[in-house]
Amino acid sequence: MNSFVTSFKELAKNLNIKYKDINLYFQAFTHKSYSNEHKVPCNERLEFIGDAILDFLVGEFMFETYPDMPEGELSKKRAAFVCEEANKNYSLKLGLDKLILLGKGLEKEGGRTRPAVLGDLFEAFLGALYLDNKKLSEVRKILKMVVFPNIIGEAAYLKDYKSELQEQIQAENRKSVNYVLENEVGPSHDKTFTISVYFENVKLGEGVGKTHKEAEQLAAKQALDKLAK
């Protein structure tokens, strides 16, 4: 606990968090594998409330940002920013991964880098932040750092170019396109991926992104642009 307190105080300072109950955050960073070994509460209940708050605040932001967008499209866009892969990236950007408490087995198995573990951690952290302050504004402050800028930036993977490309290809035959990881560079918390899309061994497009999903969507977009010419 003492080691966690020291690390969390540094994190809180970096993120400008004025906390009241550090025990809430200790629970938020406690994975069930650590909980089982040390007989302390895990972060699953905090994850539950954090998930609901994240959904709401991202939905609120998108509702205000896209006043003319229909409900179905809003839901699709939100799903791109509130998912396991996205939440994992938010945890890494905030540095939450450095504080997570894991059981010995999971730690050895690389649990600190698992998308599911880091995605759940982000939601649990938001849950603790809300319960500690009872203010959505405090959670919104964190989302302004790592979530909302991506939405404003209108990342290309928001539109489902992969599905559109597949539909075009299958309109002429039943074969599918194939996505190949060509390269990845950077440290584990900040990788950049290069992925190409092929059809019958012919390269149709290439995409570079911070996640596999983004790179694939950008590759599909490039392929669609070529096919449209």
Known catalytic residues are: 51, 123
Residue 80 near residue 158 (C-beta atoms within 8 A): yes
Q: What whole-number distance in Å separates Cα of residue 35 and Cα of residue 14?
A: 27
For residue 213, the one-letter residue type is K
Q: Mind spelling out the 3-state secondary structure of the chain?
A: CHHHHHHHHHHHHHHCCCCCCHHHHHHHCECHHHHHHHCCCCCHHHHHHHHHHHHHHHHHHHHHHCCCCCHHHHHHHHHHHCCHHHHHHHHHHHCHHHCCECCHHHHHCCHHHCHHHHHHHHHHHHHHHHHHHCCHHHHHHHHHHHCHHHHHCCCHHHCCHHHHHHHHHHCCCCCCCEEEEEEEECCCCCCEEEEEEEECCEEEEEEEECCHHHHHHHHHHHHHHHHHC
